[in-house]
A and B are shown apart, each in its own frame.
Chain A
Amino acid sequence: MSDPERLRDLLHPGFERSLLEAAEQASAPPVARRQALSGALAAVGSFGAATGAAQAAAQGAHVAAAGSGTIAAGVIKAFAIGVVSGALVAGGAVGVEQLAEHPVAPAPSAATAPQRLAAPPAPAPPPRARAAALSPATPAPRRAAVPAAPSTSAVVPSTRLAQEVAALDRARGALSGGDAPRAIALLDDYAARFPRGALAPEASVLHIEALARAGDRARAATLARSFLVRHPGGPLAERARRYVGPP
């Protein structure tokens, strides 16, 4: 079965088509924003190796986020907690602080900011819509097309994720403070509140770690094996694998 033609291809030039085309010319976010995000998120790769330095960095990020004074800071704060407490790369924390201090920082000119971050050679060919939209003739995303809105009307996009992150951080805090039973209780609470949580895999691994720490190695091993069936690869699997025990 073939796809219907796109409206844009069906319409003669005119008002309706110009509306559809406006979407393609729509502005992109400030480059600075994307760069800061990229730096901060890249740190997430090193799960589970929290150190004193990382904790300190996380605290700095909290303070910066709390001080930025907008409603949106709530999300940025949650973001900072999530990223930094799970990781330890100082560069990540710096990125987060920049985000928090300048939540709507204007884009630097395209001349000074590299458009693309250091990324591996282009993997898959982009779909055709992108090939059109991503033509090298339009290097600098234009912010002008997005009507500026007062920051006071900022909406926290989804408090659910922020709550998930906070719940897991409480559990992680209990575990690193040596209170494994409390961590387990907090993780049970997390599972009950967010049965299909976005961070469920991370919660599972924390649970495994907490059980092992509490002395229940057998149950930790069972859960670790079951986790590895569902999630055979990645950093979380690496963590789970340590608890599988002898076959």
Chain B
Amino acid sequence: MAAVADRERTGADAGARVRAAVAEHFDYVWRLLARLGVPSSSVDDAAQEVFVVFARRLEDVRPGSERSFLYGSALRIASDARRAHARREQRTAPERDVGDPAPGPDELLDARERLALLDRILDAMGEREREVFVLFELEELSTDETAALLGVPRGTVASRLRRARSEFFSRAKRLRAQAGGRS
């Protein structure tokens, strides 16, 4: 039956589109979620969730705008996860401050330690500053792309970015001083 054949073809197209999106974007979505503060134990699940939403709303996603859709979902899911985590942290352990002892001088830091420090700085930022910082500085989206994803004007992106940068520098400076690093 033609209708059945049509449906099967549509299904196959959708499957191919989902596979292509996973292949092209999964690693970036995963990394974005981690930098946005999803606890490392939950990043896998959160990334999965982003793509489940994508697959189920495939028809709402204009071809070519897959990345915007995925990043938008990631921002939302990261925000939920961060809040859930913060609630749990409040109940269980005192919040870890960026004032924790830092590792040694920077030439001794490996990539993993640097990443941990970066995450500590990001954790200390306000949520809005963090989102802009991650999207613009780390994911290297343009101001326009960042503004569109967050649903705010360019000027707001610029002012959040300024605050985020100043936060980044002051925290980094403190970490460096603690580590006794000179560079």
Contact = CB atoms under 8 A, between A and B. Distances in A.
B47 interface: yes
B111 A6 contact: no
B114 A41 contact: no
Interface string B148-174: 000000100010010001001100100
Contact of B154 (A1, A128, A129): A1
Contacts of A122: 24
A185 interface: no
Given A37-B48, A119-B19, A234-B10, A22 B56 contact: no
Contacts of B26: 29, 34, 37-38
A180 to B, nearest CB: 22
Interface residues of B, number: 83
A100 to B, nearest CB: 11
A161 B183 contact: no
B142 A3 contact: yes
B171 to A, nearest CB: 10
A117 B6 CA distance: 25
B144 to A, nearest CB: 8
Given A104-B44, A129-B139, A153-B39, A15 B24 contact: no
A173 interface: no
Nearest to A47: B11
A79 interface: yes
Contact of B49 (A25, A33, A46, A79): A79
Given A28-B30, A29-B27, A43 B15 contact: yes
Interface range, A side: 35 or more
A99 B45 CA distance: 10
B182 to A, nearest CB: 9
B162 to A, nearest CB: 9
Given A38-B19, A76-B45, A235-B14, A25 B111 contact: yes
B138 A199 contact: no
Interface string A162-202: 00010000000000000000000000000000000011011
A242 to B, nearest CB: 8
Contacts of A99: 48
B45 A156 contact: yes
Contacts of B154: 1
B126 interface: no
Contacts of A129: 139-141
B45 A154 contact: yes
Contacts of B30: 28-29
Nearest to B120: A19
B114 A18 contact: yes
A206 interface: no
Interface in A35-91: 37-38, 41-47, 49, 72, 75-76, 79, 82-83, 86, 89
Contact of B41 (A154, A160, A236): A154
B160 to A, nearest CB: 12
B57 A198 contact: yes
A147 B172 contact: no
B64 to A, nearest CB: 7
A110 interface: no
A6 B136 contact: yes
Interface of B: 6-8, 10-20, 22-24, 26-28, 30-31, 34-35, 38-49, 51-60, 64, 73, 77, 80-81, 84-85, 88, 106, 109, 111-112, 114-118, 121, 136-143, 154, 158, 161, 165, 168-169, 172, 175-176, 181, 183
Given A6-B137, A15-B176, A34-B22, 7 more contacts: A6-B136, A7-B168, A46-B7, A76-B45, A103-B44, A129-B141, A158-B49
